[in-house]
């Protein structure tokens, strides 16, 4: 290893030591301590029950649902779409550690990183036009009239796109960004007739939209007069998907987690106004209807989401729809209704910050809001029934027996003064066909499920035995004598076993990443560190489990011999005597091994 590589390895470990995995992962999702681990909903796949584990002592993570695992570097690589070198730079910058200039750069940047660079350069370009150019003065005056302070302009890096067809395009061209990638990012467009390009945003206030980690993903753009469309937004790109992003979350997530509440407002200006007024809990959808993905994103930080909506019919309808999405995604929605001519900023200016906070605090919740609407409309039985059935449409998402469903039905019954048994009957009528139990999930599939469970059991045995090899002790020495790579059904686990045996000792936590550098092996190792093991009372489980793996391998070999012999007999070919002898030897080994397993199990019962 060269001196440069040694220095690079030391620098990597410096960055790793300066980054706490729990704090890092906690920036992206809400974690809860469970024993020695932290748990949360996996950020890499959709789930309702937490299966994502983070261990602070070992500084790693693993998801038992999608089987992704690793350390701080792999987490950032997966979450932000970066290559290793880029993840190292990201974490070094986050920790305030300067990246040595002498280190050679990686060959080709990842596709996502190129889009980040294009967006971030464009955001800086728009910001300079707003704050440092003569053309930006009129836009600055407009923002000041809207009550946006210079500090907020800096904090949110607001910008201005001038009334020009090619100003951004020429800047990006001079910066050597490929035109086709700038088109894919939605910043410029191809001319419909003839060659050439033109800017997507012109004569508009620019709002950079960032990831939780602060990377610029896309943009929102607003006119300064009454022309339409009032807002246009970046198209979806390799780094930007509108329905999965919330404006302002990069600045608000810490306060949202601390206060255990988020405010979901209508637009960019509402987020900025509330933040500079002293309520840094506001986020907004980015030019799209609020989605389930956005609800789950908020759910990483808080259960309680207050939806701030207009008081007119359209606002009420929108607020109810959003509350239903939050409810189905596991949150506790609240609806804060404003008057038709109000927005959060104007309300704070008129009544003050404390009055706005009181409105949020005194809001009656989703069910209470629906009850208040019914009361405003005369409290007629028909209106009450429509409101209840509308709520039941959201509750139909939950399965029977779900404890949260029982709690919500009790709350609904108390809010509207209806018996729970009546609500349950109405819920059954409301359920959509897809929420009902499918016929193919009945008794007919039980044998297949039993086979799957048996396979899962064998897989669990392999994993537990591998974990034993990561620790010194008598059981480890016993396994080294009993196991062979061919006993493992999974090639990755077989390779892990072979490498651990070849090493000749228990590896340290730092060595594991060097011995098993590929993603598949790294994920397998991380899963092992979070695996639950049998109780200490089962003294012989290690020996019994190893023998079972050997038996499973012998049974598979026996089936292979049987298939070969049958194929020869069907083809009318003579079966070689040595083949029959090998098959007979396997059969004897199986009988002997079964007897040995029985003896071990008898000892286990007696202990």
pLDDT tens per residue, range 485-500: 888 877 778 888 888 8
pLDDT tens per residue, range 547-587: 888 888 888 888 878 877 777 776 667 888 888 888 888 88
Looking at residues 514-527, what average pLDDT do you find?
68
Q: Could you tell me which CATH number the domain at 243-321+330-356 has?
A: 3.40.1360.10
pLDDT tens per residue, range 440-465: 333 333 333 333 344 457 788 888 88
Give 3-95's CATH code, choosing from 3.40.50.12780, 3.90.580.10, 3.90.1520.10, 3.40.50.1000: 3.90.580.10
Rounded Cα–Cα distance for residues 60 and 45 (Å): 18
Residue 435 pLDDT > 50, yes or no? no
Looking at residues 28-43, what average pLDDT do you find?
86
The Cα-based distances of 221 to 209, 235, 429, 465 in angstroms read 10, 12, 45, 57
Residue 512 pLDDT > 80, yes or no? no
Residue 268 pLDDT > 50, yes or no? yes
What is the model's pLDDT at position 159?
97
Distance of CA 121 to the CA centre of its chain: 27
- How far separated are the first and last CA of the chain, in Å rounded? 52
Distance of CA 149 to the CA centre of its chain: 34
Strands (E), 178-268: 188-190, 197-199, 204-210, 216-222, 231-233, 246-247, 262-265
Give 111-240's CATH code, choosing from 3.90.980.10, 3.50.50.60, 3.30.499.10, 3.20.20.70: 3.90.980.10
What is the model's pLDDT at position 456?
54
What is the model's pLDDT at position 603?
72
Q: Name the one residue in this structure whose structure tokens are 């990597």.
A: 12
Is the Cβ–Cβ distance between 247 and 272 less than 8 Å? no
Is the Cβ–Cβ distance between 490 and 22 less than 8 Å? no
Residue 104 pLDDT > 60, yes or no? no
User: Per mean pLDDT, which range of 12-16, 53-57, 449-453 is the poorest?
Assistant: 449-453
Q: Is 571 helix (H, G, I), strand (E, B) or coil?
A: coil
Is the Cβ–Cβ distance between 538 and 457 less than 8 Å? no
Looking at residues 576-601, what average pLDDT do you find?
85
């Amino acid at each position: 290893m060269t001196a440069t590589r040694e220095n690079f390895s030391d620098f990597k470990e410096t960055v790793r030591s300066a980054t706490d995995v729990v704090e890092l992962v906690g920036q992206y999702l809400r974690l809860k301590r469970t024993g020695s681990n932290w748990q949360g909903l996996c950020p890499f796949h959709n789930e309702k029950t937490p299966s994502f584990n983070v261990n602070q002592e070992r500084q790693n993570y693993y998801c038992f649902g999608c089987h992704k695992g690793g350390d701080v570097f792999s987490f950032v690589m997966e979450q932000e779409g970066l290559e290793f070198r880029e993840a190292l730079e990201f974490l070094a910058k986050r920790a305030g550690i300067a990246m040595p200039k002498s280190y050679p750069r990686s060959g080709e940047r990842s596709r996502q990183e190129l889009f980040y660079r294009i967006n971030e350069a464009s955001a800086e370009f728009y910001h300079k036009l707003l704050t440092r150019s003569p053309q930006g003065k009129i836009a600055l005056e407009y923002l000041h009239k809207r009550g946006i302070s210079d500090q907020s302009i800096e904090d949110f890096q607001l910008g201005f796109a001038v009334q020009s067809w090619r100003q951004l395009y020429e800047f990006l061209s001079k910066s050597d960004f490929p035109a086709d990638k700038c088109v894919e990012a939605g910043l410029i467009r191809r001319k419909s007739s003839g060659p050439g390009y033109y800017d997507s945003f012109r004569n508009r206030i620019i709002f950079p939209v960032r990831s939780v980690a602060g990377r610029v993903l896309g943009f929102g753009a607003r006119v300064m007069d009454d022309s339409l469309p009032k807002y246009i937004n970046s198209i979806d790109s390799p780094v930007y998907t509108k329905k999965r992003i919330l404006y302002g979350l990069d600045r608000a997530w810490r306060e949202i987690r601390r206060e255990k509440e988020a405010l979901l407002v209508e637009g960019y200006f509402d987020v900025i106004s509330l933040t500079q007024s002293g309520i840094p809990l506001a986020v907004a959808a980015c030019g799209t209807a609020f989605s389930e993905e956005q609800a789950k994103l908020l759910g990483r930080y808080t259960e309680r989401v207050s939806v701030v909506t207009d008081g007119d019919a359209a606002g009420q309808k929108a607020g109810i729809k959003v509350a239903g999405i939050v409810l189905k995604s596991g949150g506790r929605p609240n609806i804060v209704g404003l008057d038709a001519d109000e927005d959060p900023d104007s309300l704070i200016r008129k009544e003050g910050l404390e009055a706005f906070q009181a409105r949020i605090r005194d809001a009656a919740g989703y069910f209470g809001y629906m009850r208040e609407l019914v009361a405003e409309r005369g409290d007629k039985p028909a209106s009450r029934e429509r409101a209840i059935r509308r709520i039941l449409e959201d509750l139909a998402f939950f399965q029977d027996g779900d404890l949260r469903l029982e709690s919500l039905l009790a709350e609904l019954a108390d809010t509207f003064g209806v018996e729970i048994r009546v609500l349950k009957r109405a819920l059954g009528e409301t359920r959509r066909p897809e929420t009902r139990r499918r016929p193919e999930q009945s008794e007919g599939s039980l044998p297949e499920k039993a086979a799957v469970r048996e396979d899962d059991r064998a897989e669990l045995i392999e994993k537990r035995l591998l974990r034993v090899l990561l620790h010194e002790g008598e059981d480890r020495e016993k396994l080294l004598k009993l196991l062979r790579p061919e006993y493992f059904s999974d090639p990755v686990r077989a390779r892990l076993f072979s490498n651990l045996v070849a090493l000749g000792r228990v590896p340290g936590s730092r060595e594991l990443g060097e011995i098993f550098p590929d993603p598949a092996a790294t994920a397998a190792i991380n899963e092992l560190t979070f695996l639950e093991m049998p109780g200490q009372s089962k003294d012989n489980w290690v020996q019994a489990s190893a023998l079972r793996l050997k038996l499973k391998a012998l049974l598979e070999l026996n089936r292979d011999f049987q298939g070969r012999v049958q194929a020869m007999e069907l083809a009318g070919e003579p079966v070689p005597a040595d083949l029959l002898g090998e098959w007979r030897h396997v059969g004897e080994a199986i009988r002997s091994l079964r007897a040995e397993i029985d003896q071990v199990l008898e000892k286990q019962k007696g202990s």
